Structure 1
């Protein structure tokens, strides 16, 4: 089934719900954590749902009612998350025509809502070994670069109606929000959507976790970032997407517990976490499948949430980017010559050494010598881990019940990219999305040591 099987029926602009007496939206400055992502593409995450049936205790509503409720609740939640309804603004610095600054104008320009249909069922999306190619067309703003947020919406959603379900595909500007912020937003949207809102003169619906949209600066005062260019579009890279296989692997709670116990037992410690054990396991398994030269320098990269690392810590509801990339680096032969504990300890040390002083020093260093993240600078001999099993993916319920599964769009994928999600059954289970060159993926699938740690996800009725 081709991408053309998805047909867009309508496109709407959804603006935040505001009353005349409310104060106008404010400008939102960006931090180095935000600005360093300007030249990546929009991040894309989506959820697959069954259509509700009367037997589930839910009435099967016409699609027009579902779309109306989604749009109306989106206008409510955007009033809380005002940056997502704005646009990026680049302005030249007064002191230099070759430099500029960027901020979000929270001007209520709005988010984009698309209604589409596809002649495909939920089961068909899930039954392919690799991620079904049609999934990419379930997302809006394909090809958009974060700095395109000057004119493009900073958030767009496509509701694709399937024969027996829905797919809610979201594309959000990664220079505006990280994964923690995105799932906070999506949970808040679904929270409002479950309320039976009156259409006439209703007050703005409160949410259980209001976001903290004020950006953090070390001095406590707004400090706009100075950029070393006047036109950001001159710095956009044009790269062809590599040929990759993209598939999910499921780790049960028992499998994750075994990996953690093995790493701690081999290392004669109790400090290695489940994340560190799983990261080390994937790093070693992918490296083994790649059959690299022993002296090849490789790394395991991952993002660390700075919210809890700062002193005092930031609120978990801080809205924006608050993550920092870190790497454990070694030679391929050395990694494979040692056991799981040795690799996990490299990851552990990288994590524990990331403290308040490191966060602040790297923040200051970026301000003095700005750099930007490009996919082209990432090699194909390492692994890069994103996402988190702690995100409340399956708590997102728009009134149709829990999601069936989670999927990513086609953007920002590279050889060795790993995305972590909680397993649907909970309990510490993990669904891991992995992108690899086809031959390497085949080698990994033939690796008994790796395949013995994964299993089929629970059957979803």
Structure 2
């Protein structure tokens, strides 16, 4: 057997520890949720070393047991993640309503897997090994697949000397419960109509802090060696919660994001300094106000649409996602601090960059950059870029 082949040992479903009255009701989706139906599942995971001096079988069994128990508790608070998507279709008028059914679902999926590889096999290569994609469930799935797939899936993969926990962020103590009440503009909701009757009309599948973003944008543009007149952009995922008036709670559960974009030509971007590029991005951020957020929502209500990944990512631009503000290494599973973070197949496009908190702390940032081989090689030969990375 190929040592890099991941073996599934067991699968089961985890349900909320107890069922609340609230979870018995349909969970309606907002504009920001519905536009994401054609976007791939988020796939993030943490790699841990197995503690020395422990009985391996007892260690894994204890980790699996604690994870299942804590997941069951977490699902009480985040009960929509134990549900499945459901669709109500009407012909006259032509309507397509998608919501979360929290009752008719087996729960969140929990997978125990194993692979005959070591931690060094994962962290030592210059580029992330393809086998890491097998550490995640929902390979190449999009959110609309939540009709038949779990909305949340946890996969625990044993390595020879380590453990990889994918989507494993469910056992933190809930000190601030999520706000599950959905926000809808006045006079709309809770069911928002998608003007389609067939899923093929709305779904397509794609196979295949400002200064930092500006630095990455300039570096990648230089590595791509565009002609000066080539139009290039940098998109930033931006949180709408604090920008609405009145603001949504920071604990608002669900999607409340959009993207903002700065645009220029490759020649202008590289002719000006880092501060100029950062200023362009700053203007895009500060101009994203309540007016822009509501304008987007109202425009969607007038003419609903679904994001198509092929339209969001273009080979002349950079898309910055995730954030070093997210406490990725704050998860505690009894295995100590994670060695590193890795992601799955989802959202791997030319120019996609994810920023994570650096493992060593102190304000450091880890970047996951997706580029074709020629551009990646040029980036690695860029002395200015390499002088600030390790």
Q: Please say whether Structure 1 and Structure 2 have the same fold, judged by a TM-score greater than 0.5.
A: yes
State the match for 1:168 in structure 2. Answer: 165
Quote how far apart the aligned CAs of 1:2 are. Answer: 6.1
Quote how far apart the aligned CAs of 1:33 are. Answer: 0.7
State the match for 1:110 in structure 2. Answer: 107
State the match for 1:17 in structure 2. Answer: 17
State the match for 1:311 in structure 2. Answer: 245
Quote how far apart the aligned CAs of 1:238 are. Answer: 4.3
State the match for 2:185 in structure 1. Answer: 218
Count of residues in Structure 1 that have an aligned counterpart in Structure 2: 388
Q: For residues 437 and 131 of structure 1, what CA distance do their matches in structure 2 show? A: 14
Q: Deviations over 1:80-130 (max 9, x none)?
A: 10110011111124741x321111111153011110001111122111111
Q: In the alignment, is the contact (CA less than 8 A) between 2:348 and 2:370 conserved in 1?
A: yes
Q: What secondary structure does 2:291 align onto?
A: helix
Moved more, 386-395 or 24-33: 24-33
Quote how far apart the aligned CAs of 1:294 are. Answer: 1.4
Q: For residues 226 and 2 of structure 2, what CA distance do their matches in structure 1 show? A: 35
Q: In the alignment, is the contact (CA less than 8 A) between 1:53 and 1:60 conserved in 2?
A: no
Q: For residues 241 and 143 of structure 2, what CA distance do their matches in structure 1 show? A: 23
Q: In the alignment, is the contact (CA less than 8 A) between 1:52 and 1:60 conserved in 2?
A: no
Moved more, 153-162 or 230-239: 230-239
2:380 is aligned with 1:381: no
Q: Deviations over 1:391-412 (max 9, x none)?
A: 0111111122121111110112
State the match for 1:70 in structure 2. Answer: 67
Q: For residues 59 and 80 of structure 1, what CA distance do their matches in structure 2 show? A: 32
Flag structure 2 segments of 5+ consecutive residues without an equivalent: none
Q: In the alignment, is the contact (CA less than 8 A) between 2:47 and 2:339 conserved in 1?
A: yes
Q: Deviations over 1:239-297 (max 9, x none)?
A: 441xxxxxxxxxxxxxxxxxxxxxxxxxxxxxxxxx11111111111111111121111
State the match for 2:26 in structure 1. Answer: 27
State the match for 1:350 in structure 2. Answer: 284
2:350 is aligned with 1:415: yes
Flag structure 1 segments of 5+ consecutive residues without an equivalent: 171-185, 193-206, 242-274, 456-461
- Map 1:170-319; keep pairs closer than 5 Å: 170=167, 187=169, 189-191=170-172, 207-219=174-186, 222-241=189-208, 275-319=209-253
Q: In the alignment, is the contact (CA less than 8 A) between 2:328 and 2:357 conserved in 1?
A: yes
Query: Using a 3 Å threshold, how does the CA distance of structure 1 residues 163 and 395 change in structure 2: closer, same or farther?
Result: same
Q: What secondary structure does 1:160 align onto?
A: strand
Query: Using a 3 Å threshold, how does the CA distance of structure 1 residues 100 and 3 change in structure 2: closer, same or farther?
Result: farther
- Map 1:388-427; keep pairs closer than 5 Å: 388-427=323-362
Quote how far apart the aligned CAs of 1:23 are. Answer: 6.2
Q: For residues 238 and 24 of structure 1, what CA distance do their matches in structure 2 show? A: 31
Q: For residues 80 and 354 of structure 2, what CA distance do their matches in structure 1 show? A: 25
Q: For residues 385 and 316 of structure 1, what CA distance do their matches in structure 2 show? A: 21
Q: In the alignment, is the contact (CA less than 8 A) between 2:156 and 2:165 conserved in 1?
A: yes
Q: In the alignment, is the contact (CA less than 8 A) between 2:140 and 2:345 conserved in 1?
A: no
2:138 is aligned with 1:157: no
Q: What secondary structure does 2:43 align onto?
A: strand
Task: Give TM-score, length-normalised by structure 1.
Answer: 0.80
Task: Give TM-score, length-normalised by structure 2.
Answer: 0.94
Query: Using a 3 Å threshold, how does the CA distance of structure 1 residues 394 and 220 change in structure 2: closer, same or farther?
Result: farther
Q: Deviations over 1:64-86 (max 9, x none)?
A: 23212211221111111011001
Query: Using a 3 Å threshold, how does the CA distance of structure 1 residues 230 and 291 change in structure 2: closer, same or farther?
Result: same
Provide runs of 4+ in structure 1 moved above 4 Å. 1-4, 21-24
Quote how far apart the aligned CAs of 1:62 are. Answer: 3.4
Q: For residues 21 and 84 of structure 2, what CA distance do their matches in structure 1 show? A: 20
